[in-house]
Structure 1
């Protein structure tokens, strides 16, 4: 990580992404425990947990959306550098900026759409089929995670433009 990048990273942004990632970790641990309990109860006690699929699906949404900003900030996504040897420093820099700009645009559209869906789901009382769990909080988590990811991408674009270096 360059000196410019290290100095420019925001403590608030770091903490926010870390808190959301910790929440995603709690969702993951809870999901693992729930699935293990459901399997054990179903096959050994012949007592299935009703609605476990709904809980796992909603937990999956929470896990992915809450972990996304942290992964984006730390550049931990899967990346294929197939063309890097051929496009050189400026090509990689341009590709990094372009990919973050396109991702930021697409994710900002998803933020807008998920926020609208959250408001609609809350207004109309949308809920899951089996357990009647309200789904609007999960649209809210989606909007929150995506919005923070857009902020992270914008900061990365600024850092790339200021430093002229490839993002680590």
Structure 2
């Protein structure tokens, strides 16, 4: 007889998989960027044959690298953090600082998600493309919105975990 799945564990599983998928896509974009830069440099300096529009492709793949890896980095607390005042402000100060930093970050990213979503819709409606190669821009705005939206969820989960004493001390 099968037990009904725990809602929290199902949510956690979905959340972890979404993070993993976005991070894997970010890795694909990073690999693409590395290969393109290597080929571009080789062709430009060894054969004097530059690739047309390579800068556009590298800029767009950089969007994929950063925005798709952002939620995973946030979930693993991999961002640069300076704990200069930790000893001075004490345990309560760190608790308030951790909550405040996550709340402010989630608020700012929420605003940016909304703006990126609207920009994606505009770019899709008007057919915005890159100047040289004509690559559609709306999927990259979608990457920005998706990465930041999942990052907001990560920050909200961390906020709740800190309140209940399961987060960073």
If the length of structure 1 is used for normalisation, what is the TM-score? 0.92
1:151 paired residue number = 153
- For each residue in 1:65-87, what CA deviation from the matched residue of structure 2 results, as whole angstroms up to 9, or x when unmatched? 00000000010000000000011
**Which runs of no fewer than 5 residues in structure 1 stay unpaired?**
1-6
1:3 paired residue number = none
The 4+ residue runs of structure 1 with deviation greater than 3 A are none
**Which runs of no fewer than 5 residues in structure 2 stay unpaired?**
1-8
**Superposition pairs of residues 65-104 of structure 1, within 5 angstroms:** 65-104=67-106
- d(CA) in 1 for partners of 2:15 and 2:99? 20
Deviation of 1:16 after TM superposition, in Å, equals: 1.0
2:126 paired residue number = 124
- d(CA) in 2 for partners of 1:166 and 1:54? 40
2:164 is paired with a residue whose SS is helix
Deviation of 1:166 after TM superposition, in Å, equals: 4.8
- d(CA) in 1 for partners of 2:132 and 2:167? 49
**Superposition pairs of residues 135-146 of structure 1, within 5 angstroms:** 135-146=137-148
If the length of structure 2 is used for normalisation, what is the TM-score? 0.91
Deviates more, 1:38-47 or 1:109-118: 38-47
1:36 paired residue number = 38
After superposition, the CA RMSD in angstroms is 1.5
2:115 paired residue number = 113
1:118/1:139 contact within 8 Å kept: yes
Of residues 7, 10, 13, the one that matches 2:12 is 10
- d(CA) in 2 for partners of 1:136 and 1:53? 18
Bigger RCO (CA 8 Å, 6+ sep): 1
Q: Does 1:59 align with 2:61?
A: yes
